[in-house]
Structure 1
Amino acid sequence: MPGGRLTAQERQQIALGLADDLAYAEIARRLDRPTSTVTREVMRNGGPGGYRADLAQRAAQQRAHRRRPTTHRGGPTAGGPASPDDAALREYEETFTTLLMQSGLPRMAAAVLTRLYVADSGSLTAAELVDRLQVSPASVSKAVALLENLGLVRRERGDGRRERYAADGDAWYQSMIAAARSNAALAATARQGVDVLGRDSPAGARLENMARFIDFVADSITRAAEQARDLLHTSPARDAEDPAPR
């Protein structure tokens, strides 16, 4: 039935659907569940190539067993405004983590990055990440190292000798610029094909049109990223009537 936790039988149906190469939406339709529920379930338990119903069921039982009814110690809004509903926050974190995994991040790295983004401070210590994610220090250390290499987090010196890890908002700007450069390189390669095949040939014309399209999109992305970069560092108190830089 829709709503509530997935049952062992539903997890078996998900595994069978994946084996039959069904889309998440089709599996969800057969279960009468939201597609997002199936997507999160698969991505948090090995992905489409590694999902096993028995292991997923066991992991869910372990999570339910260790889940505490009270709010996390030193939560992201401690000392500030009332924190969001625990269940709603966990649901949002899982959704955000799943999307980051779909973009290519391993689950633990995606979970760490999510926690950093939902923390009001924008930064957490390794001990805080271990506590909130209920994982080992080694898992957090490995995830942080990967995120640092990707330029998604940075180290900050906190009180005393503890280091804090902060989400680097500027990473999204750098990601857009890198994507634009990659597209520009693709356009340049397409034009090499035009020189080889001839501009008047059907294949040459196809590659030229492809290059023109990619050039236009890459240029638009670069200009938009430059114009909007300040939005990544805008204070929440900024006047809502001036939402974007001119």
Structure 2
Amino acid sequence: MPGGRLTQQERQQIALGVADGLAYAEIARRLDRPTSTITREVMRNGGPTGYRADLAHHATERRTHRRRQTAPRGQASPPLEHGRDADAVREYEESFVALLIQQGLPKMMAGVLTCLYTADSGTLTAAELVQRLQVSPASISKAVTFLEGQGLIRRERDERRRERYVVDDDVWYQSMIASARTIAQLSETARQGVTVLGANTPAGVRLENISRFTAFVGESITRAAEQGRDILYGTKES
């Protein structure tokens, strides 16, 4: 599998694939690239409706130029804590942001959430988020308000009375349970349709099958979430 940065020709192929409605996985297969590379490339350069190969290529060149200006000539970015490679961390964070955007989260909110998930403490102040994302305090405030409203983060005060934003591991459990409830509602609605349309009619049979399927999936999600909840709070065994 080829490595390195995308070429302009590859970006043109990505643009054609996006225009044709191909899945990112299919575009990646044709270019022999990881799907995450294609997802990140598209989402950070206008998304599926605004991606342009030439603009994406120029934007990448500008970002590369800025990075070279901030680092000593001939040297890579310095390693971070725990021996982490700064370039590898940045690439991973970009992939994480792209995935969250693909799931429907606005770009700024995705950036804030990614910062919190990749911080060892799981908590950052507004000033720290401003520094990491290089955006205005107002942008951070708006993103935090949105994420808090969605139940994805919470606020707390530290010993210096500074407001900190915290990512709550339990949100994944709550998200799964909420998803299971939605599926259960779909199952119940389909079952009501069986009574209305008739159990022995084609439509009734179809809705009965939908009801049974969604009930099974919803119950499975709830059971798995309950059984796996402790994993969210576990520590890696040595």
Shift in Å, 1:91: 2.2
Q: 1:190 to 1:98 in 2, by over 3 A?
A: same
In the alignment, structure 1 segments of 5+ residues that lack a partner are 241-246
User: What letter corresponds to residue 189 of structure 2 in structure 1?
Assistant: T
Distance between the aligned counterparts of 1:30 and 1:205, measured in 2? 41
Give the alignment of 1:163-202 within 5 angstroms: 163-202=163-202
The SS at the match of 1:212 is helix
- Name the CA shift for 1:137/1:218 in 2 (closer, same or farther; >3 Å): same
Give 1:86's aligned residue: 86
The CA distance in 2 between the partners of 1:186 and 1:163, in whole Å, is: 40
Offset, 1:18: 1.9
1:189-215 CA deviation, whole Å, 9 max, x = no partner?
101110111112222122112211211
Query: Which is helix-richer, 1 or 2?
Result: 2
CA positional deviation for 1:140: 2.1
Q: What is the distance in 2 between the residues matched to 1:25 and 1:223? A: 31
* CA distance, structure 1, for counterparts of residue 117 and residue 5 of structure 2: 26
Task: Give yes or no for contact 2:8–2:57 (8 Å, CA) kept in 1.
Answer: yes
Q: What is the CA distance between 1:23 and its match in structure 2? A: 3.0
Counterparts of residues 3-152 of structure 1 (less than 5 Å): 3-67=3-67, 68-69=70-71, 70-71=77-78, 77=81, 82-152=82-152
Q: Percent same amino acid among aligned pairs? A: 68
Distance 1:167 1:56, change over 3 A: same
Give the TM-score taking structure 1 as reference length. 0.83
Give the drift of 1:170.
1.1
Partner SS state of residue 191, structure 1 = helix
Q: Which runs of 5+ in 2 are unaligned?
A: 72-76
Change (3 A) 1:47 1:207: same
- The number of residues matched between the two structures is 231
Structure 2 counterpart SS, 1:49: helix
- Partners of 1:113 and 1:47 in 2: CA distance: 19
CA distance 1:160–1:65, change in 2 (3 Å): farther
User: Does the 8 Å CA contact 2:112/2:143 hold for their aligned counterparts?
Assistant: yes
CA shift, 1:32, in A, is 4.1
Q: 1:98 to 1:214 in 2, by over 3 A?
A: same
- After superposition, give the CA deviation of every residue in 1:124-163 in whole Å (9 maximum; x if it has no partner): 1112112222233232222222111111111121343431
Q: Alignment partner of 2:47: what SS? A: coil
Q: TM-score, normalised by structure 2?
A: 0.86
Displacement after TM superposition at 1:184 (Å): 0.7
More deviation, 107-116/17-26: 17-26
Q: Amino acid of the residue matched to residue 177 of structure 1?
A: I
CA distance in 2: counterparts of 1:164 and 1:117, whole angstroms: 14
Q: Secondary structure at the match of 1:166?
A: strand
Equivalent AA in structure 1 for residue 86 of structure 2: D
Q: 1:232 to 1:137 in 2, by over 3 A?
A: same
Aligned to 1:209: 209
Q: 1:228 to 1:34 in 2, by over 3 A?
A: closer
Distance in 2 of aligned mates of 1:86 and 1:209 = 51
Q: RMSD value over aligned CA atoms? A: 2.3
